[in-house]
Amino acid sequence: MNFESELKKGNFFISECNQCNKIVWPPSEFCNQCLSNNSWRKCSGKGIIVEFSKKEDTYFAVAEIENSVKILGQIVSGRPKIGDQIKITDCGIADDHYFFKMIILD
Ligand SMILES: [Zn+2]
């Protein structure tokens, strides 16, 4: 499993500890809490907005995914409020940076 090659294809995987079930971020083969092996699973892509900003006509938000991983992404539909539920609709790597696009769920 290679996190970045999957992300490039638009698949957002997360690593989760087999022992203590912690979601480990940045993604890793090993748990940073109990040093057990992690396994990989596809992320639900669902999260909550914890912060947002607007640049020109585009909103960007920090979202907490699955109550643990914080990512920065662009909001492609809707106007964000803190606490809104979002879903990641696209992700990848551009110019050596991870990017995420998200929509706001009703
Ligand atoms: Zn662990």
- Encode pLDDT of 35-87 as tens digits: 999 999 999 999 999 999 999 999 999 999 999 999 999 999 989 999 999 99
Q: Residue 54 Cα, ligand 1 centroid: separation in angstroms?
A: 37
CA distances from 5 to 2, 25, 43, 48, 102 (A): 6, 16, 15, 26, 20
Dump pLDDT digits (tens) for 14-48. 999 999 999 999 999 999 999 999 999 999 999 99
- Residue 106 is predicted with a pLDDT of 84
The full set of domain ranges for the chain reads 3-42, 46-104
| Rounded distance from Cα 16 to ligand 1 centre (Å) | 8
Give residue 1's pLDDT.
84
Which residue would you say has higher pLDDT here, 106 or 103?
103
Report the topology of domain 46-104.
OB fold (Dihydrolipoamide Acetyltransferase, E2P) (2.40.50)
Alpha helices in the chain (DSSP H): 3-8
Q: Which strand ranges, in their side-by-side order, compose the sheet holding 13-17?
A: 23-24, 13-17, 38-42
Distance 38 CA to ligand 1 centre (A): 8
pLDDT at res. 9: 95
Q: Which residues contact 85 (CB under 8 A, 6 or more apart)?
A: 46, 47, 48, 49, 104, 105
